[in-house]
Structure 1
Amino acid sequence: MQPQADSTGAGPSTRVQGFAPVAARDARILVLGSMPGVASLRQARYYAHPRNAFWPIAAQVLGFDPAADYARRLQALQDGGVALWDVLWACERPGSLDADIRVDALVPNDFIAFFAAHPRLVRVCFNGAKAASLYRRHVLPRLPQRSLQYVDLPSTSPAHAAASFEKKLAVWREALTAPA
């Protein structure tokens, strides 16, 4: 992460770049975040913040150990038909908060190529409101018509504690249940 001058005068901004997707070719569900947070970027791992509820929720839904090593957790997602990615390939954002993403400096991922390479996808789940709004504003208008179900989910981020773990788990369980 490289600090850069922020033209808004609000202080330094940091240009960040996300990760490659984790997806088996036969994935049926795609979970999208907005952009990895600082802890994830430092560790080069999706949802690395220890208080993020993503891995405990996915583990309960898909039946794997949330403490398993990272490679095993990624494999468990793929075995469950779940792909993982972010809406943004790059952006400028100080810190980890989605609210701080500079709209004038964001670059969406290449969803046209991704969807072409993963033709069995039927559902896109958004991990939080910012991922959903970024996708709908910066990605969806550029996509060719494709029948996909979109599901807005409560964020698993520790910054979004409005819903209890149990409530999040119930909603996420329904969303991550692979459609037939």
Structure 2
Amino acid sequence: MDGLDQVTHEFEPVFDQNSKVLILGTFPSVKSRENQFYYGHPQNRFWKVIARLTKEQVPITIEEKKALLLRHGIAIWDVISSCEIKGSSDSSIRNVVPADLNRILDHCDIRRIYANGGTAKKLYERYSKGKTGREIIGLPSTSPANAAYSIDRLMESWGEIGEFIKGV
């Protein structure tokens, strides 16, 4: 496939010893790679969804985003450590090197793993499930490419995380 670039994930996962939920994306978008943090495209609804789930303000800075996640026991990372990709297109991903998710799972009491989108779920099941031995729950993508889902429709599915983190 023409136009593929070999790209390596260059920023760290967000987690601490209190993390109970792990949300996995596929691989950082071009905007996220430019910003050196997760869900950096201004049209991605991830931070709006997380703010609604936790009943907090939408975080702006990287520090605010990390603090919000950690206050609520949420860890985030991506399934892929490096790959060939065209721009931000998940469908173009080739030659996957999976992230070592045990880096988080060995240091936290992660009780549930969620995928932000179908491609993240599929790639987790293909490359990571055998190593982690853990199931993943698929959620609709917060990406602007998933235009079929309004923020309210996303909340119908993502609300499960809010209920879960309230109960732990």
Correspondence list, 1:42-61, <5 A: 42-61=34-53
Partner of 1:123: 112
Question: Which residue identity is paired with 1:79?
Answer: R
User: Take 1:55 and 1:111, find their aligned partners in 2: how far apart are those partners?
Assistant: 22
1:119-161: CA deviation from partner (whole Å, max 9, x where unpaired): x110001000000000001111123x4xx55311000000111
1:35-58: CA deviation from partner (whole Å, max 9, x where unpaired): 000000011010010100000110
Correspondence list, 1:2-41, <5 A: 10-18=1-9, 19-41=11-33
User: Take 1:58 and 1:142, find their aligned partners in 2: how far apart are those partners?
Assistant: 28
Question: Which residue identity is paired with 2:36?
Answer: A
User: Take 2:6 and 2:47, find their aligned partners in 1: how far apart are those partners?
Assistant: 26
Q: Kindly, what percent of the aligned residue pairs are identical?
A: 32
Three-state SS of the structure 2 residue aligned to 1:117 is coil
1:88 and 1:108 in contact (8 A); partners too: yes
2:129 and 2:135 in contact (8 A); partners too: no
User: Take 2:40 and 2:105, find their aligned partners in 1: how far apart are those partners?
Assistant: 26
Partner of 2:100: 110
Question: Which residue identity is paired with 1:162?
Answer: A
Three-state SS of the structure 2 residue aligned to 1:106 is strand
| Partner of residue 72 from structure 1, selected from 64, 67, 90 | 64
What's the CA shift for 1:165?
Answer: 1.3
Equivalent residues, number:
165
Partner of 1:4: none
What's the CA shift for 1:67?
Answer: 4.4
Runs (4 or more) in structure 1 with deviation over 6 Å come to none
Three-state SS of the structure 2 residue aligned to 1:161 is coil
Stretch moving more, 89-98 or 65-74: 65-74
What is the TM-score with the length of structure 1 in the denominator? 0.86
Backbone CA RMSD of aligned residues: 1.4
Higher CA-based Rg: 1
5+ residue gaps, structure 1 = 1-9
1:88 and 1:107 in contact (8 A); partners too: yes
User: Take 2:89 and 2:14, find their aligned partners in 1: how far apart are those partners?
Assistant: 23
1:124 and 1:150 in contact (8 A); partners too: yes
